[in-house]
Structure 1
Amino acid sequence: MDRSRAHPRSRPAHHHPWSPPLNAAPADQIRLLEVQALDVRLSQLAHKRRTLPEHAELDALNADLTQLRDLLVAAQTEESDTAREQTKAEQDVDQVRQRAARDQKRLDSGAVTSPKDLENLQHEIASLAKRQSDLEDVVLEVMERREAAQERVAELTGRVQSLQDRIGDTTARRDAAAGEIDAEVATVTKERGVIAGTIPADLLKLYDKLCEQQGGVGAARLYQRRCDGCRQELAITELNEVRAAAPDAVVRCENCRRILVRTPESGL
């Protein structure tokens, strides 16, 4: 048969134009599946850590906290403004009161004898009394607004504190959950290092390269004539090539290019 005209899937499964032939003991290839299983577990743990429900909960709580703090600053500003307004209104009342007291003292002293001057003085005292009453009403109105602002500040301060407590609790839960995951990651990583250390360097290098290219899966078992990596069933010509390959030949899936590890359940 002219090999140059053969179907591209008919070339030996263990020899790709993009990589030289590689040999490794069957036991080493089986151990590669153990490393793959541990890498999948590490990937799952990383995903679990990234998607802890506490992350979303903290995002929502912190967004609420930012909003509450803005409202609190606005309430504190209003309280501060009304406090200055109250001080100014009280000073205005005090000035009118002092002026009325001086006029009343002049009136009571008998020093003013002219009927016209007396009339003017009495008129001014009456006007000042009206002015003082109006200003005292202003003071009361400002005091009410200030009291409302103070109540708002107190309420928002309490809500901010409560939210900060929730954030603290949620952060502690997140850190505890992340700590458990990190502990498992450390255990799995150590186990992976031990097993990977027993695998030939060239085989491990190929596996690591394929992992980068194939979404974290560089090796897959051949199970019931199907590649566990891409879930594709091998064509009959491909199966024949795998059957004919030496036990220590590192074969590759023609479909996904992953290392294909043969086991007793391969169905060959």
Structure 2
Amino acid sequence: MKAAPADQIRLLEVQALDQRLGQLDHKRKNLPENAEVERLNAELTQQRDLLIAAQTQESDTAREQTKAEQDVEQVRQRAARDQKRLDSGAVTSPKDLENLQHEIASLAKRQSDLEDVVLEVMERREAAQERAAELARRVEELQRKAAEAEERRATVLAEIDAEGAGAAKEREVIAGSVPDDLMKLYDKLRAQSGGVGAAKLYQKRCEGCRLELNITELNEVRAAAADEIVRCENCRRILVRTSDSGL
């Protein structure tokens, strides 16, 4: 294959732009902001789950407290009715009086026990409320931090995309001026060789594989016509000769 030396030089420009586009793509995928957003979102999910659990616990204890208070009220009302019967003098039988007094005493003990239950449930509910409030504050703070991190990421991504769009446009223009057959060979080699299809020969060294050409290889390159496409014997990439190739 043959191509004018100027076309071969332009191929190095295309290669440089391809490498820059690759670097930008790598940068886009490995932004520190990506890890930060992922970490914050994971923590936010965890704290939201804990908040839901705390709110559920608070709701459960609220119902438990309501039930316990209703039980206390029922016992209190029954005790009040018994006390009213006792005070009215309507019960005259000594045995009935004794039974009524015994029931009033039992109800007083039952009411006291139930009131202790209410206090215990109230304490648990208060603890659940405090826990839910603290978790709500954490969730709100994490939401703020996550939003800020996502905004920073969006700003960096916009800058990368803008630079990438400029580089892609420049590549399109330069590649359009390179012969099609040379571009096809370059693209094929680039796909096979880790993104580098053309390399500069600098001071007798291929900048693609970083190996120095031996004397036989150098003589072959020296003997090749200026418009002949030469390849590195080691990495098989297109080897572009310049004034500082050391030939």
Letter in 1 for 2:203: Q
How does 1:91-102 map onto structure 2 within 5 Å?
Answer: 91-102=70-81
Letter in 2 for 1:258: R
Percent of matched pairs sharing the same residue = 77
Please give the per-residue CA displacement for 1:14-63, whole angstroms capped at 9, x wherever unaligned.
xxxxxxxx100000000000001111111111111111101111121122
2:107 maps to: 128
Runs of 4+ aligned structure 1 residues displaced above 6 Å come to none
Q: Cα distance, 1:66 vs. partner? A: 2.0
How does 1:232-251 map onto structure 2 within 5 Å?
Answer: 232-251=211-230
1:112 maps to: 91
Q: Distance in 1 between matches of 2:157 and 2:188?
A: 29
Q: Distance in 2 between matches of 1:266 and 1:137?
A: 94
More helix by proportion, 1 or 2? 2
1:52 maps to: 31
Deviates more, 1:43-52 or 1:253-262: 43-52
Q: Distance in 2 between matches of 1:186 and 1:60?
A: 29
Letter in 2 for 1:228: E
Task: For residue 260 of structure 1, give the secondary structure of its aligned residue in structure 2.
Answer: strand
Question: How many residues are matched?
Answer: 247
Task: For residue 201 of structure 2, give the secondary structure of its aligned residue in structure 1.
Answer: strand
Q: Cα distance, 1:67 vs. partner? A: 1.8
2:158 maps to: 179
Q: Cα distance, 1:225 vs. partner? A: 0.7
Q: Distance in 2 between matches of 1:76 and 1:116?
A: 52
Task: For residue 199 of structure 2, give the secondary structure of its aligned residue in structure 1.
Answer: strand
1:169 maps to: 148
Task: For residue 266 of structure 1, give the secondary structure of its aligned residue in structure 2.
Answer: coil
Q: Cα distance, 1:105 vs. partner? A: 1.4
Q: Distance in 2 between matches of 1:125 and 1:266?
A: 111
1:34 maps to: 13
Q: Cα distance, 1:70 vs. partner? A: 2.1
Task: For residue 239 of structure 2, give the secondary structure of its aligned residue in structure 1.
Answer: strand
Letter in 2 for 1:98: Q
Q: Distance in 1 between matches of 2:53 and 2:160?
A: 42
Alignment partner of 2:167 out of 177, 184, 188: 188
Deviates more, 1:160-169 or 1:52-61: 52-61
Q: Gapped runs of 5+ residues in structure 2? A: none
TM-score (norm 1): 0.91
Task: For residue 143 of structure 2, give the secondary structure of its aligned residue in structure 1.
Answer: helix
Deviates more, 1:70-79 or 1:144-153: 70-79
Q: Distance in 2 between matches of 1:37 and 1:24?
A: 19
Please give the per-residue CA displacement for 1:98-126, whole angstroms capped at 9, x wherever unaligned.
11111111112211111111111111111
Q: Gapped runs of 5+ residues in structure 1? A: 1-21
Q: Cα distance, 1:131 vs. partner? A: 0.8
Q: CA RMSD in A?
A: 0.8
Q: Distance in 2 between matches of 1:144 and 1:160?
A: 24
TM-score (norm 2): 0.98
